[in-house]
Structure 1
Amino acid sequence: MVTAVTEGIQVSVEVTYQAEFSSPHQHHYVFTYKVTIQNKSPYTVQLLKRKWEIFDAAESPKIVEGDGVVGQQPILETGESHSYVSGCNLKSGLGKMKGIYYMEKLFDGKSIEVVVPEFQMIANIFHN
């Protein structure tokens, strides 16, 4: 698990290689990642947008942007957290992701760019 904190907003990411959904011989590797966002700041925030940078050893880097996360724009009061699971397909068994969550402080409308820490996606293709 990797964790980063920006202005009191903590983002933790845990990655799992999904061997049962992957086909290495067809250059198809599936990863899921669980993100937990914890509001340790003194203000209420809302996650409005996201931007991901996806790096795959077999391809050029990709940028993916959109509203919210998995169709939601969660509002987090002080002490609250929000978790979700999403996924990424790679053509190689080696990659990484990092990103930014664009949030807004609801009391004054100020924007915050919250760092999503870089995390590795490494396929465990060796079996004992």
Structure 2
Amino acid sequence: MKSSLKHDIQVDIETTFIREQSDVEADRYVFGYTITISNQGSLSARLLNRHWIITDANGKVEEVRGEGVVGEQPYLEPGQHYRYSSGTIIETPVGAMEGDYEMLDDQGEHFVTPIPAFSLQMPNVVH
């Protein structure tokens, strides 16, 4: 069913703990994430910028802002999706990420797509 919203961008996230790049003794925990961005709206849009808020279990917060994602500014027509993988490093075995994407539609309107909060956790740490 086609959405009647002109801006309806869906963000789905999958995460993984990357043990071989992590160093528990040095408080270095590496996580990978794959994000699928789907345009469910009625207008095409380009992802211009990203904004991340990364929080570890100690409450340390890092904000990251930048152009596009993985060196690209994907253009999504209605019904299209874009998938990319990236990663982050935190100092605790558990943390969280959230943020938003700044988008620009074909009518020249800027809008923000929230990235829902998702957890980063080393396996067998949280029960």
Q: C-alpha distance in 1, partners of 2:91/2:58? A: 6
Residues 70 and 86, structure 1, Cα contact 8 Å, conserved in 2: yes
Deviation at 1:58, TM superposition (A): 3.2
Q: C-alpha distance in 1, partners of 2:58/2:24? A: 13
Aligned to 1:113: 112
Within a 5 Å distance, the mapping from 1:86-125 to structure 2 comes to: 86-106=86-106, 108-124=107-123
Give secondary structure in 2 for the equivalent of 1:79.
coil
Aligned to 1:26: 26
Q: C-alpha distance in 2, partners of 1:16/1:46? A: 27
Q: C-alpha distance in 2, partners of 1:120/1:95? A: 6
Residues 43 and 77, structure 2, Cα contact 8 Å, conserved in 1: yes
Residues 11 and 37, structure 1, Cα contact 8 Å, conserved in 2: yes
Higher RCO (Cα < 8 Å, 6 or more apart): 1
Percent identity for Structure 1 against Structure 2: 36
List structure 1 runs of 4+ shifted beyond 3 angstroms. Answer: none
Aligned residue identity for 1:51: H
Q: CA-to-partner distance for each residue in 1:48-98, whole Å, 9 max, x for gaps? A: 001000101235211100000010000000111000000000111110000
TM-score, reference length from structure 2 = 0.89
TM-score, reference length from structure 1 = 0.89
Show structure 2 runs of 5+ residues with no match.
1-5
Aligned to 2:82: 82
